[in-house]
């Protein structure tokens, strides 16, 4: 949606396909990092975004048995000293409404790309799609696939994927939030368990980590068994878990880290999760995808807005620009998974909260240390600046 907006503002004819009828779905990745807030400022949509009901988090805490430590601290960073938690459907509606102001932009809802079209020379020339009226074909000078980690078009293109694995999956659920609850997003590590609680003002968005592939085993037990595992980790009375009434309220995210070895073929480019699936560590998925979109618009927008034929050799510039930031963030995520998450979950006998490591407690006293994860995940590596399509 961000890429469609930028290209349309730059004079490119754009069609965006969205397979659902609206954006009102339960997204878990609702963190909008400073890097994305800065992009919104550059394209004149920051004020409108900040009118969306949202929460600002300046610190990310880890609650141990012997006290709470601020591990990430945005305070003092510029130009934004917080990350925002906002409903992703509102964010998407904001971008879509801004794009619709461009006469050369078309958003086709309930339309899903199901395959690729090719010309006589084998170059991708559009997509096969399905909408409420049936099958159709959409021709395009360039297809940009943003269809996520389960990308249909990635499979259709037959591109090689490098997979790095993950030791965990995540069970997402909501709990009601009371005014007397702690006022901070936090992670709670315990022996054999890890719970992350995102403060969404009127509810808690909770992520409970389980060993990779154990979802069916966990769900084979009564819901009360799950309640009993989570309850001791809560920063309030365990009875709050009674608000969880059925397994249908618990959603599973299969965690993966992978990336395409090559992000393009003639006529086709992959960006976002379709090019590189990210672990939920750091909540970077949306924000890295938006950086991809800005880079794509900057690098390809002038060519797409011209009258000459598309130069397919230019598509590789996007991967060249965005590969290093992807490698760095995925590398950090893989280290965190191997050295923190895997040993934690390998402790099969569930126990109480862990005590804070002495070195971590000492280092967290220094703002410069607390700024490190905020800078890395919040602002990212090789931040993009909007050069094409900043204004309509």
The two three-digit tokens of residue 257, written as one number: 């880290």
- Distance, CA of 213 to CA of 223 (rounded, Å): 18
Q: Which residue has the tokens 């925002």?
A: 84
Predicted pLDDT at 127: 98
Burial status of residue 254 (CB atoms within 10 A of its CB: 0-12, 13-18, 19 or more): middle
Alpha carbon separation from 336 to 211, 212, 261, 274, 360 (Å, rounded): 15, 15, 23, 23, 14
Predicted pLDDT at 24: 78
Dihedral over Cα of 324, 330, 332, 338: its sign: negative
- Enumerate the β-bridge partners of residue 27: none
Q: Is the pLDDT of residue 338 over 80?
A: yes
Dihedral over Cα of 239, 240, 244, 250: its sign: negative
What percent of the chain clears pLDDT 70, i.e. is strictly above it? 98
Cβ proximity of 115 and 156 under 8 Å: yes
Model pTM?
A: 0.94
pLDDT band at 111 (very low <50, low <70, confident <90, very high): very high
pLDDT band at 27 (very low <50, low <70, confident <90, very high): low
Q: What share of the chain is helix, strand, coil (3-state, %, to 5)?
A: 40, 25, 35
- Distance, CA of 374 to CA of 76 (rounded, Å): 11
pLDDT band at 67 (very low <50, low <70, confident <90, very high): very high
| Residue-range domains of the chain with CATH | 2-60+79-164+256-350 (3.50.50.60)
Predicted pLDDT at 25: 73
Predicted pLDDT at 348: 63
Average pLDDT, the chain: 94
Cβ proximity of 16 and 138 under 8 Å: no
């Amino acid at each position: 949606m961000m890429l469609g907006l930028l290209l349309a503002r730059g004079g490119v004819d754009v069609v965006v396909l969205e397979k659902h009828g609206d954006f009102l779905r339960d997204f878990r990745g609702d963190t909008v990092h400073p890097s994305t807030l800065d992009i919104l400022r550059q394209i004149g949509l920051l004020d409108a975004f900040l009118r969306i009901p949202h929460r600002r988090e300046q610190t990310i805490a880890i609650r141990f048995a012997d006290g709470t430590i601020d591990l990430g601290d945005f305070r003092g960073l510029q130009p934004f000293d917080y990350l925002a938690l906002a409903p992703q459907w509102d964010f998407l509606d904001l971008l879509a409404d801004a794009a619709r102001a461009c006469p050369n932009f078309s958003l086709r809802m309930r339309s899903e790309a199901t395959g690729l079209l090719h010309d006589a020379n084998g170059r991708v020339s559009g997509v096969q799609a399905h909408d409420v009226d049936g099958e159709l074909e959409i021709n395009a000078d360039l297809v940009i696939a943003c269809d996520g980690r389960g990308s249909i078009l990635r499979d259709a293109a037959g591109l090689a994927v490098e997979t790095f694995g993950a030791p965990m999956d995540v069970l997402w659920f909501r709990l009601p939030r009371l005014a007397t609850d702690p006022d901070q997003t936090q992670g709670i590590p315990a022996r054999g368990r890890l719970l992350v609680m995102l403060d969404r003002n009127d509810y808690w968005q909770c992520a409970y980590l389980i060993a990779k592939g154990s979802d069916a085993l966990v769900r084979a037990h009564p819901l009360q068994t799950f309640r009993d595992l989570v309850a001791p980790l809560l920063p309030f009375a365990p009875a709050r878990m009674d608000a969880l009434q059925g397994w249908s309220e618990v959603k599973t995210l299969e965690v993966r880290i992978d990336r395409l070895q090559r992000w393009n073929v003639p006529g086709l480019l992959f960006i976002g999760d379709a090019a590189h699936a990210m672990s939920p560590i750091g909540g970077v998925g949306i924000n890295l995808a938006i950086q991809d979109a800005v880079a794509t618009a900057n690098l390809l927008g002038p060519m797409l807005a011209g009258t000459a034929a598309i130069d397919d050799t230019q598509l590789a510039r996007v991967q060249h620009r965005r590969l290093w930031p992807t490698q760095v963030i995925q590398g950090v995520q893989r280290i965190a998974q191997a050295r923190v998450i895997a040993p934690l979950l390998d402790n099969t006998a569930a126990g109480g909260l862990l005590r804070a490591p002495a070195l971590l407690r000492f280092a967290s006293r220094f703002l410069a240390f607390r700024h490190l994860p905020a800078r890395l995940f919040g602002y990212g590596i090789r931040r993009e600046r909007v050069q094409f399509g900043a204004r309509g």
